[in-house]
A and B are shown apart, each in its own frame.
Chain A
Amino acid sequence: RKEVEQDPGPFNVPEGATVAFNCTYSNSASQSFFWYRQDCRKEPKLLMSVYSSGNEDGRFTAQLNRASQYISLLIRDSKLSDSATYLCVVKGVDSSYKLIFGSGTRLLVRP
């Protein structure tokens, strides 16, 4: 089983739609969680950190469910510019603080 798993998609949605991505992780003691966005042939960039209480940044909402070991990202009112690959990232539990990436979920927003 992979340490971090995501549905690869692609998710093809119209502008204005609401779309949700899930990510599961295998190590229950994992400490920190993030969502990154990666555009084609570019480096990943931090979209948002994921806190236990859940957090929102404009049209984006991230949630963490420790009991079920999954992280979610909700995008409301999708824009064409949201088209990208969304990477779920988990930070390791031991002193190594190793960053583990999921394979990414591709989102295509159509006019």
Chain B
Amino acid sequence: DGGITQSPKYLFRKEGQNVTLSCEQNLNHDAMYWYRQDPGQGLRLIYYSQIVNDFQKGDIAEGYSVSREKKESFPLTVTSAQKNPTAFYLCASSKTGGGTEAFFGQGTRLTVV
């Protein structure tokens, strides 16, 4: 079945550690996105990519990094520079072009301990 897979579902990080969240899709989508959601809030864009080896900062990129070495994969690293990383992280993918919706992974819930 085609879809988008995020792992792990739950992740615990100690202060000062970097952690990497995985996002893989087999939908043959060019565009991929990372969003952060805090309790009771909407989705805020961290990074997005339209094509392999290219990505752009979203509204809250500070403290995060990404790579897009393969079309299928768009991992997100939460660095120690991100001071308040506890949140629900959602990865999405879509075709490029107007009129095409995005599909989401099931999310990763990151907690700093």
Q: Does A43 lie at the interface of the complex (its beta carbon under 8 Å from any beta carbon of B)?
A: yes
Does the CB pair B96–A97 fall under 8 Å? Answer: yes
> Is the pair A87, B56 in contact by a Cβ cutoff of 8 Å?
no
- Segment with Cβ contacts to A, from B11-19, B65-73, B77-85, B103-111: B103-111
Across-interface contacts of A46 in B (CB, < 8 A): 101-103
Q: What sequence of 0s and 1s flags, for each residue 7-38 of chain B, a beta carbon within 8 Å of any chain A beta carbon?
A: 00000000000000000000000010101000
Confirm or deny: B41 has a beta carbon within 8 angstroms of a beta carbon on chain A: yes
Whether B45 sits at the interface, judged by CB under 8 Å, is yes
| Residue B2 interfacial (CB < 8 Å) | no
B98 touches A91 (CB 8 A): yes
CA distance in complex: A49, B102 (Å) = 11
Specify the chain B residue showing the minimal Cβ separation from A101. B43
Closest B residue to A47 by beta carbon equals: B101
Residue of A nearest to B102 (CB): A99
Shortest A33–chain B CB gap in Å is 9
Query: Given A31-B98, A34-B101, A49-B101, do A103 and B41 touch, yes or no (CB 8 Å)?
Result: yes
Binary contact readout A47-89 vs B (1 if CB under 8 angstroms, 0 otherwise): 0010000000000000000000000000000000000000101
A49, A87, A98 — most chain B CB neighbours (10 Å): A98
CA distance A45 to B107 in the complex (A): 12
Please tell me if the beta carbons of B31 and A97 are within 8 angstroms of each other in the complex: yes
Identify 14 residue pairs between A and B in the complex whose beta-carbon atoms are under 8 Å apart, listed by A's number: A31-B98, A32-B100, A43-B106, A45-B104, A87-B43, A96-B48, A97-B31, A97-B50, A97-B94, A98-B58, A99-B45, A101-B35, A101-B45, A103-B42
Which 4 pairs show the lowest CB-CB distances between chains A and B? A103-B42, A43-B104, A31-B98, A101-B43
Which B residues are closer than 8 A to A by beta carbons?
Answer: 31, 33, 35, 41-45, 48, 50, 56, 58, 88, 90, 92, 94, 96-107, 109
A→B interface (CB under 8 Å): 31-32, 34, 41-46, 49, 87, 89, 91, 95-104
